[in-house]
Amino acid sequence: MRPVFVTSSGTEIGKTYVSAMLTRELKARALKPLVSGLDEATFAESDPAQLLAAMGEKVTYENAGLVSRWRFREPLSPDMAARREGREINFDELLEECLAAAAMPGPLLIEGVGGLMVPLDATHMVLDWMKALDAKTGLAPVLVVGAYLGTISHTLTTLAVMRAENLLPRVIVVSEREPGPVPVEETAETIARFAGGVPVRALPRGGAVPLAALL
């Protein structure tokens, strides 16, 4: 099975929520190689914590490295967060880490960082990371978007870039972070009308939706 790569139209949208749900459904290993905004005090709510829990691993700060090899304190774009610690993300090492994980048996899920075009270093973005992995192992991209006013254009813009870069998502998941005036089902239906055949699924707040058959 191709590694699943979960990306988004932005940050704090629902990638981890969907990644944890999918990790459980696929009984997959989950990686979130790059995480920023991580500190011990709020670790329980962090991405590595949620993915450790989804894998049935002990949720401890010491175990964060099982999921996230590059961990940064500042809640910033990873290139900026790294710079604040006098570090930088080595793109080749990031690829090696993902390819080594993809070579192991069983399904693998990788969560990106922020949205599709978040910078990782001086020249690479999440998009380049996905393209490089897709060229080596093939990817099953999953695009997670929000259910807020503005999400339709954000989604279709992100989809246009993924289509142009031959990274068409297997599914677009419209994740309802909190109840609001924007109807999640109708939003998903509207996005589907303009998605050129890409399946779209509404994910209500606190809900779950099966995705394995679409990957």
Ligand X SMILES: C[C@H](N)[C@H](N)CCCCCC(=O)O
- Please report, as ranges, the residues that interact with Mg ion according to CB under 5 A: 15-16, 47
Q: What is the DSSP string of the chain?
A: -PPEEEEESSSSSSHHHHHHHHHHHHT-EEE--EE-S--GGGGGGSHHHHHHHHHT----GGGGGGT-SEE-SSSS-HHHHHHTTT----HHHHHHHHHHHHTSSS-EEEE-SSSTT-BSSSS-BHHHHHHHHHHHH--EEEEEEE-STTHHHHHHHHHHHHHHTT---SEEEEE-SS--SS-HHHHHHHHHHTTTT--EEEE-TT-----GGG-
Residue (13 or 211) nearer to ligand ATP, CB: 13
Our finding on whether 205 is near ligand ATP (CB under 6 A) is yes
Query: Does the annotation list 189 as a binding residue?
Result: no
Residue (26 or 38) nearer to ligand X, CB: 38
The interface region with ligand ATP, picked from 9-17, 56-64, 83-91, 135-143 by CB under 6 A, is 9-17
Query: Does the annotation list 46 as a binding residue?
Result: no
Our finding on whether 115 is near ligand X (CB under 6 A) is yes
Active site residue 131: no
Our finding on whether 14 is near ligand ATP (CB under 6 A) is yes
Binding site for ligand X (CB under 6 A): 11-12, 36-37, 75, 77, 113-115, 118
